[in-house]
Structure 1
């Protein structure tokens, strides 16, 4: 049995993700030790679920990377898995420093992160590659353009996540004068929403694309979902890979099948998505395939996942004291 140490960053509530890695490790004959870190590990459920937890500064703090490197060095970490969007950029920039310590950071190159962390650039890059995307304009462009608008539209932070700061704007007069951060306006789509999880191997080959319908969503994360096998979703995943040829590992994108515009991809997350446990349950063992890559084992990645797998998430708790 091979030993491997994993560090889950900004662990928060990602207990299910840790459990996925543990099941995958056992199935692949890997003795996995799980470390987790967070700004407040004493208040993090995932840190309670880990074998050991650590305090780290927020990902925008100058000491964030240094603290992560120290944990990696002290405990022989071989794989670092980020879980939130804001930490992707600093970790991507620091990949060579982690590699010097023998650790792989599960993150795409900075060129990819710069695109997916900017909603306007995301739709521009995807659109040039033929991916269907919603009409998206900057806040300044919306203010200055005198032509017809597609009102109502969604106002979103350029680098937002987890549905933070999103609201409907029904006319040009409702546009904010001085928002706290850069914003974009995006076509208000109506129809069923889907997430497509993707696994791209180290050579840049798309090995799997598994879609689930987002039946219920809470705080931007799927709460109830069902896998659906539809050729359209695989085709869109292939187009996303063409648009982002340097992307690697696990990522996901979201789309809505709009009643009039058809499919529109509006967001790409270059990390494990919150609904990933459904993909693993359905047979797309991305956690296991990632562990095998890090361990130097032959790839067994495939696209033979189960259609119609259902996930109904619920809250659980850790108690102490």
Structure 2
């Protein structure tokens, strides 16, 4: 079996966990990394790699097709939001035509996940709580938000890892709008503005079959600390409060494989979805270290084996924290590698 992880970057642990899943199930196979950076840490941990054009390059789609035709992987996943967007626009279907399982949402469903303005509109229409939201450039929409809250959050409309994040008080937003009565526009990416919700932040992973279907498992964790827009410390928690939410999101999006949600539970106990990432997120490891094993579920599914029910079980109240690690490359061409030491 051959598994390819695109844009793996520093996610050495995910390469290891897929390799371990193959070993646990007694399936001969390898984990290959596709990455634009030949010095990405995950390259050194993988069984092989391909240097790919940047996803913004016009050469990227054909290079992906050529690599897939050469390697004939069973599974291709990516950890990059922009690459997911390109795949959802037809490239994933081209790879599927070549026999590869590619757990990427359909184009309309992916757009809901990728576009924070559409996330808000689509989920609100489905009756799923979300923060009140408007485009920052929409003066009327911003004025309406000013009547709904006292604190506000600005984000990049298509961003990830908290890109463009700013926090504003009612007075600060009113002042900005007074200076730009036709709409507030910042240089760079388009932004959305949301009414801030105060409460506890959680990460929730919805797990579904790789080709779509009913929810197979749900993982939950409470975020303790963040670093650079990603969970740094978290504690595993009971998934029961989020089961209905997971079912409803899956019905709306048609999850394939894994989809990670950022959820804020306010002081009234209402869970608001603030972000959707249809991939392995930086929060998944907290549940894996507590006992869950989504890579094993995926490998078993690819092999046509019923996955042992234990893959979705995890201990509660397990606190995990990310920290720095190092990994060594033995050869400049990356055809040989030696794993010296790695951590999350």
Q: Name the TM-score, length of structure 1 as normaliser.
A: 0.91
Check 1:133–1:97 CA distance in 2 against 1; reply closer, same or farther (3 A cut): same
Secondary structure at the aligned position of 2:29 is classed as strand
Secondary structure at the aligned position of 2:302 is classed as helix
- Which residue, out of 2, 7, 10, partners 2:4? 7
- Which residue, out of 295, 298, 301, partners 2:306? 298
CA contact (8 A) 2:218 2:239 kept: no
Residue matched to 1:232: 241
1:33 has 2:30 as partner: yes
Q: Report deviation, 1:143.
A: 5.3
CA distance in 2, matches of 1:96, 1:320: 34
Q: Report deviation, 1:301.
A: 4.9
1:193 has 2:192 as partner: no
Structure 1 unaligned regions, length at least 5: none
Task: For 1:1-321, list aligned pairs within 5 A.
Answer: 4-42=1-39, 44-92=40-88, 93-142=90-139, 146-147=143-144, 148-170=147-169, 171-174=173-176, 176-201=184-209, 202-244=211-253, 246-259=254-267, 262-301=270-309, 303-320=312-329
Greater CA drift, 279-288 or 180-189: 279-288
CA distance in 1, matches of 2:233, 2:292: 18
Greater CA drift, 220-229 or 173-182: 173-182
CA contact (8 A) 1:158 1:183 kept: yes
CA distance in 2, matches of 1:120, 1:183: 9
CA contact (8 A) 2:95 2:102 kept: yes
For this pair of structures, how many residues does the alignment match?
316
CA contact (8 A) 2:135 2:142 kept: no
Q: Report deviation, 1:174.
A: 2.7
CA contact (8 A) 1:82 1:106 kept: no
Secondary structure at the aligned position of 2:137 is classed as helix
CA distance in 2, matches of 1:230, 1:35: 32
CA distance in 2, matches of 1:6, 1:120: 34
CA contact (8 A) 1:208 1:301 kept: no
Q: Report deviation, 1:116.
A: 0.3
CA distance in 2, matches of 1:270, 1:203: 12
Check 1:301–1:90 CA distance in 2 against 1; reply closer, same or farther (3 A cut): farther
Q: Deviations over 1:247-306 (max 9, x none)?
A: 211111011122368321111110011121222233332111111222222344564332
Q: Deviations over 1:225-262 (max 9, x none)?
A: 11100522122212212222x22111110111223683
CA distance in 2, matches of 1:144, 1:312: 39
Q: Deviations over 1:48-81 (max 9, x none)?
A: 1112222111212221121122222212211111
Secondary structure at the aligned position of 2:260 is classed as strand
Q: Report deviation, 1:211.
A: 0.4
